[in-house]
């Protein structure tokens, strides 16, 4: 798989990244460690060399699973992890990074990201200057190679950039969730900041595998996702029906078509999770789907049937 520069850093990432929220198990159902390890390994063997995780995913469990899957290939992969909103004081950032280094069985993290802005989830408000000071120190020490932020607005991204180089923004972004385009994308494009889109398949909705009457198991966080509710869900099903002929013409799945559209957007790369090895390989194949400018525009318009009706909430979940 081709690689792209991460921001202005020397790090090279794949346009499709392996997401490992599910590897932490918390807020997911039916996840088995052995299957997750196989999925991560298969993603790597299929060409995905960039793996995204976070300390909060199962309180370090996801990071440990990543290590079990790829420690023997450490020099050939890029690790991206995150510090949570409740650990943004200077010393807390340093300590969190050290825990992640231990969990990942490595002495450096390629990309270390602020997971949520200070104050999120009732966390203590910490000046961004203090958090960035810690991240800059970690970078000087060689414990991290690049700094990123996640779930930041354009204004928050611009403020953080005053205190150090930001090489990536990780927002929710997909064909069915495009709020970032009217906010931070212009700043990212102007400043060579890579966009690492999470929920790039709208939490599985863009796979087309969920019918109108689908019911999620108890404990599945998608029951709180606004895209899976009411008229939003009905509009999504209609849009998926219109996307199917385009996917068929490329001999690819709806998921691959959606990922291919996303990584063709300015500065955009797609984080895609997988429950098993088959899904991981399918995600990797999206990088080889080439869409014409007319097809990109057609897909764009189909997706807007969903996005034009969404409210102004910045996140997908009713938390």
> E-strand spans in 84-159?
109-114, 144-150
CA distance 306 to 241: 13
Q: Is 119 helix (H, G, I), strand (E, B) or coil?
A: coil
CA distance 96 to 61: 14
- Taking CB atoms within 8 Å and a gap of at least 24, the contacts of 229-238 are 231/309, 232/306, 232/309, 232/310, 233/205, 235/305, 235/306, 235/309, 236/176, 236/202, 236/205, 236/306, 237/211, 237/212, 238/305
Of the listed 57, 112, 173, 198, which one is catalytic?
Answer: 57
Whether 57 sits among the annotated catalytic residues: the reply is yes
How far, CA to CA in Å, does 97 sit from each of 87, 106, 126, 253, 290?
Answer: 10, 11, 17, 38, 38
Active site residues: 57
């Amino acid at each position: 798989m081709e690689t792209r520069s991460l921001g202005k850093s020397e790090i090279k990432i794949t346009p499709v990244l392996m997401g490992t929220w599910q590897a932490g198990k918390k807020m997911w159902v039916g996840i088995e460690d052995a299957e997750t390890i196989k999925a991560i390994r298969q993603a790597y063997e299929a060409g995905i060399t960039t793996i995204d995780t976070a300390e909060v995913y199962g309180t370090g469990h996801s990071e440990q699973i990543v290590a079990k899957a790829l420690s023997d290939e450490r020099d050939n992969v890029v690790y991206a992890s995150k510090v949570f909103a409740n650990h943004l004081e200077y010393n807390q950032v340093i300590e969190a990074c050290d825990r992640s280094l231990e969990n990942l069985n490595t002495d450096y993290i390629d990309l270390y990201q602020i997971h949520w802005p200070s104050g999120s989830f009732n966390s203590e408000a910490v000046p961004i200057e203090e958090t960035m000071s810690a991240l800059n120190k970690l970078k000087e020490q060689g414990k991290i190679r690049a700094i990123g932020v996640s779930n930041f607005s354009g204004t928050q991204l611009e403020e953080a950039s005053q205190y150090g180089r930001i090489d990536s923004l990780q927002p929710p972004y997909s064909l069915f969730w495009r709020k970032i385009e009217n906010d931070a994308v212009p700043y990212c494009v102007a400043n060579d900041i890579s966009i690492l889109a999470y929920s790039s398949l709208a939490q599985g909705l863009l796979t087309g595998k969920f019918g109108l009457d689908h019911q999620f198991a108890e404990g599945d966080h998608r029951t709180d996702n606004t895209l899976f509710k009411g008229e939003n869900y009905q509009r999504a099903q209609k849009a998926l029906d219109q996307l199917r002929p385009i996917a068929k013409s490329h001999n690819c799945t709806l998921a691959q078509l959606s990922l291919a559209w996303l990584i063709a957007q300015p500065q955009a790369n797609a984080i895609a999770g997988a429950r098993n090895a088959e899904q991981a390989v399918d995600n990797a194949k999206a990088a080889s789907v080439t869409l014409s400018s007319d097809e990109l525009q057609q897909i764009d318009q189909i997706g807007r049937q969903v996005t034009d009706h969404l409210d102004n909430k910045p996140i997908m979940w009713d938390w």
